[in-house]
A = this chain, B = another copy of it.
């Protein structure tokens, strides 16, 4: 028997593959590849020694709970510690509103499964994070894009128009997904004034906002401040926001520890869904992260991460300017991991990627981030993981890949 397709469920047939994860598979195979593709943090910034000490102490303790099954909700002291982390972001939350997730991605999947019925419209930014697109699509959502303004995020007039248009067409619309801080892929920052207006809009239109905030603390000092990255959830007085964050960008992604904050009755639903999904997130991972938080590593590391990613961003900008001149343009990102570049006329994202792979360079095509089929004039270039040398080298390879398109 070789044809298993007849066994697939509707979801199994329509699974949405991540363009980013696909690049990861290419990456694993090629030598001397420069990757501007995946948004990997810089592993040289991981607090390796602290993790080693913490692991040593936890495993020396022989405390059963370090390696045992534990509560689906998460290790209670870690939840308490996260309440403290949230407080530092001006968010007031109680433990019954917090759920530990296996990375933020799991939060997205749980939201999609628990809150999205097949055929529902879910509003996302144009462009939007591909992992969210996949999670919502796999739940059968009809994804509808909302325009962004240059530099300061989602356009509120378009948002309201799209919402009303979908409802007029008879669709159920209850969710808006967005990344207000240093958006993936654009690097843009939603203005504080828009955040307030979004909350009013959600109340007026009876909407829930899924606020995904992996990069909030990774602002560039030369472009933004902590004050400007204030989460929408901080001012949510009507229970309209489900907030997601993670330790993947501030400690290390290999631990798979993220969290969500939701109204308690919804958090309980997400917890019940998670029971059948993976029983619990990694116990050892949770304990290592907890100890890292307790030892103040988040606060200690943050300035170093901000400085290092800003330095890499500057190097990439300069290298691209030198290698590609003004044929490539991008809005200055205010934080995060990505440059969001517009290609010159006549240059198409997928064709450029095909040529770039010949040059041993990968990035993510812009169209992967658009739910409306557009974005073929964009590419996402991640500067977070490669060394400064590799960023220089990658810029040259990109210029070489762009050459034929510009010549014709």
Contact = CB atoms under 8 A, between A and B. Distances in A.
Contact of A51 (B5, B44, B59, B138): B59
Contacts of A49: 59
B277 A105 contact: yes
Given A18-B276, A113-B11, A265 B2 contact: yes
A272 B56 contact: no
Contacts of A273: 11-12, 15, 138
Contacts of A72: 21, 24
Q: How many monomers of this protein are in the complex? A: 2
Given A103-B279, A256-B281, A59 B52 contact: yes
A126 B145 CA distance: 47
B69 A46 contact: no
B109 A276 contact: yes
Contact of A15 (B8, B12, B114, B285): B114
A283 interface: yes
B102 A68 contact: no
Contacts of A24: 69-72
A162 interface: no
Given A4-B263, A114-B12, A71 B254 contact: no
13 contacts: A1-B239, A7-B115, A9-B114, A9-B117, A12-B114, A17-B275, A48-B60, A55-B56, A67-B254, A135-B276, A254-B284, A256-B279, A277-B277
Interface of A: 1-2, 4-5, 7-12, 15-18, 21, 24-25, 28, 38, 40-41, 43-44, 46, 48-49, 51-52, 55-56, 59-60, 62, 64, 66-72, 76, 102-103, 105-106, 108-109, 113-117, 120, 131, 134-135, 137-139, 174, 208, 238-240, 248, 252-256, 263, 265-266, 269, 272-273, 275-285, 288
A282 B283 CA distance: 11
Given A18-B276, A273-B12, A253 B174 contact: no
